[in-house]
A = this chain, B = another copy of it.
Amino acid sequence: MLATRETMSTTDEFLSAASSLLGDRGFTTDAELIEPWLTDWRGRFTGHALGMASPASTQEVADLVKLCAAHGVPIVPQGGNSGMSGGATPDDTGKAIVLSLRRMDKVRSFDVVARQITCDAGLILQTLHDTVEAERLRFPLTLGGKGSATIGGLISTNAGGTQVLRHGSMRAQVLGIEAVMADGTVFDSLRPLKKDNRGFDLKQLLIGSEGTLGIVTAATLRLLPALADRAVLWAGLGDIRDARKLLLHAERVAGDALEGFEVMPRHSLEAVLAHSANARAPLQDHHEWNALIELTADASGADALPALAQSLLESAFEEGLVADATIARNEAQAEEFWMLRDEIAPAERAIGPAMQHDISVPVPDMAEFVADAVPKVEKAFPGTTAVAFGHLGDGNVHFHVLAPEGAVPGKWELGEGKAISAFVHDEVTAWNGSISAEHGIGQLKRDELARLGDPAQLGIMRQVKRALDPAGLLNPGKLVPLETGTEPL
């Protein structure tokens, strides 16, 4: 790409102004320093960038955004770069800057009594967990990437995880945010008012907007009392529909103590057992389906928990809802049960190429959907194996379709793989579901959203995007399928 002389001069002006604004630690054009952040962690998207900014304060972010606005420079906000949909990777024009929030990683205030914490967007989830656990509190959201995922990234993608059933997704944890808008205005709703009806809840608009409406710089989060105990159950089932019945039963018996309900098919469990040397099957027999159930209690309910788990299991046996089941004897075994769940993605990946879909349908329909869609996909694409595992209690499964034997990695995904994804997304849409339950849209699914999204909703999204970012400089090409294409400028 050749730049005209005029562009060069404007670009040079911008780079020099950015450098003097943020200093050496805050702005770099060093290709070697930038390079690791130009590819998403799964290696599916690679882009180019004019430079990388690492501001140290909200004021610096605001000043930088104003500078970008003045020079027409697009901005790609980035947290831990561990997103699933390429939402933090720049495009290949090289016109944008990457704006890393990682240097902003401080806890601003922590009210243990009120159970609220206010922190910078760049704080890493694991650090948040450690910080609040030291005060006998907990933050009720976790996921595989917790060692790199930042609070800002989790908010921008409205991240999920395994505790959504009981505690909701990231949106439910956020009491307030601070964000820099496209014109450099600082939106500040960090003051945690439990009730506030002074107009549109703009915070909600920014949550899950993937940096296309504003750049989240800080947040106030709710915390819960630390867990005093948990009971982890493993059940073998003959059919995914039985898992649905067991879920309803668990909700009835355990009420608010039910914190997680995950399912996995025989294929996934066996893949993990083959993949991980330490993995052991919880039950002697292998069943077509497995359910992993977690009950939890804080100090006020810990005494009653073992009896509750026992009674849940006994009543499930009595009602013929489970074929076989067990309760983890101790915390070590509970960890082992969860490890089986957490290892599914890498274990399935080790088998060979696969198309992965993060989908949801209405909770009551998920079991039927899986029972219907798995054979349909395998029939339409002979030789493939479809596996669905994950958050049955949220109506959200990860629907993986493994390539036929002999498929060429890197090539299969772009050919048959693409057709498979379109097929799966069509099925999900026919079931009134979502093609992105918890991973967001990013650049990975933007065109599928354009193809399958409700035209009315897409129209309103575009209106909002144009109103709040008229020049289209905030994370261009992500999430919002603009009619006019995705050119940033």
Q: Are B439 and A195 in contact (CB under 8 A)?
A: no
Residue of B nearest to A456 (CB): B185
Question: Does A57 make an interface contact (CB < 8 A)?
Answer: no
**Chain A 128-143: CB-based contact to B (< 8 A → 1; otherwise 0):** 0000000000000000
CB contacts (< 8 Å) of A475 on chain B: these are: none
Contact across chains for A194 and B460 when beta carbons are under 8 A apart: no
B195 touches A434 (CB 8 A): yes
> A466-482: contact bitstring with B at CB < 8 Å (1 yes, 0 no)?
11100000000001100
Query: Knowing A205-B200, A225-B255, A456-B187 touch, does A364 contact B111 (C-beta < 8 A)?
Result: yes
- Chain B residues with Cβ under 8 A from A202's Cβ? 457, 460-461, 464
Query: Taking the nearest CB of chain B, how far is it from the CB of A158, in angstroms?
Result: 5
Q: Flag whether A145 is at the interface (Cβ < 8 A).
A: no
Q: How many of A's residues come within 8 Å of B, CB to CB?
A: 78
With contacts A204-B204, A468-B463 known, is A197 near B439, CB below 8 A? yes
Output the residue of A189, A435, A438, A456 with the most chain B CB within 10 A.
Answer: A456
Decide if A164 is an interface residue (CB 8 Å cutoff): yes
Check A198 against B464 for contact (C-beta < 8 Å): no
Distance between A173 CB and nearest chain B CB, rounded to angstroms: 13
Q: Is the CB of B191 within 8 A of A432?
A: yes
Interface residues of A in 409-455 (CB under 8 A from B): 432-441, 449, 453-454
**Do the beta carbons of A364 and B113 come within 8 Å of each other?**
yes
Taking each of A213, A361, A457, which has the highest tally of chain B beta carbons within 10 Å of its own beta carbon?
A: A457
From A214, which residue of chain B is reached at the shortest CB distance?
B460
CB contact between A199 and one of B164, B208, B463 (< 8 Å): that residue: B208
Contact with B along A318-346 (1 / 0, CB 8 A): 00000000000000000000000000000
A192 within 8 A of B: yes
Q: How far is the CA of A363 from the CA of B222 in the complex (A)?
A: 13
Of the listed stretches A44-52, A95-103, A389-397, chain B binds A389-397
Copies in the complex: 2
How far apart sit A437 and B365, CA to CA, in the bound complex (Å)?
37
Residue A377 lies at the interface, judged by CB distance under 8 Å to chain B: no
> Any chain B CB within 8 A of the CB of A229?
no
| Chain B residue with the shortest CB-CB distance to A111 | B364
A403 to B100, CA, bound (A): 56
Chain B positions within 8 Å of A187 at CB level: 456-457, 460
Given contacts A192-B363, A202-B461, A467-B464, contact A197 B436 (CB under 8 A): yes
Determine if B205 and A205 form an interchain contact, defined as CB atoms under 8 angstroms apart: yes
Residue A104 is within 8 A (CB to CB) of chain B in the complex: no
Q: Is residue A270 within 8 Å, beta carbon to beta carbon, of the partner chain? A: no
A459 to B199, CA, bound (A): 12
A352 to chain B, nearest CB (A): 28
Q: Which residues of B contact A189 (CB under 8 A)?
A: 457
Question: How many Å lie between the Cα of A451 and that of B66 in the bound state?
Answer: 27
A27 → chain B closest CB, angstroms: 25
Chain B positions within 8 Å of A192 at CB level: 362-363
Chain B residues with CB under 8 Å of A454's CB are: 188
CB < 8 Å: which of B204, B255, B360 contacts A195? B360
Tell me, rounded to whole Å, the shortest Cβ–Cβ distance linking A86 to chain B: 14
Query: Measured between C-beta atoms, what is the minimum distance from A148 to chain B in Å?
Result: 19
* Least distance between A483 CB and chain B CB atoms (Å): 15
Contacts of A186 in B (CB 8 A): 456
Residues of B within 8 A of A236 (CB): none
Could you tell me the distance between the alpha carbons of A187 and B466 in the complex, rounded to whole angstroms?
A: 18
Q: Is A407 an interface residue (CB 8 A)?
A: no
Whether the Cβ atoms of B255 and A298 lie closer than 8 Å is yes
Residues of B within 8 A of A453 (CB): 198-199
Q: Is B196 within 8 A of A434, CB to CB? A: yes
Given A202-B461, A468-B464: A195 touches B248 (CB 8 Å cut-off): no
Please indicate the chain B residues that have their CB under 8 angstroms from the CB of A230 in the complex: none
User: Does the CB pair B460–A196 fall under 8 Å?
Assistant: no
Q: Is A284 an interface residue (CB 8 A)?
A: no
Interface residue? A157 (CB, 8 A)? yes
Query: Which residues of chain B have C-beta atoms less than 8 A from A388's C-beta?
Result: none
Q: A197-B441, A255-B301, A362-B191 are in contact. Are A467 and B456 (CB under 8 A)?
A: no
Give 24 pairs: A residue, B residue, CB < 8 Å, sorted on A. A111-B364, A114-B363, A158-B197, A185-B456, A187-B460, A188-B454, A189-B457, A191-B362, A193-B360, A194-B363, A194-B396, A195-B396, A199-B449, A199-B461, A199-B479, A200-B205, A200-B208, A200-B209, A200-B461, A200-B464, A253-B300, A255-B301, A463-B468, A464-B467
Top 5 closest pairs, chain A to chain B, by CB: A467-B467, A204-B204, A196-B434, A195-B437, A255-B300
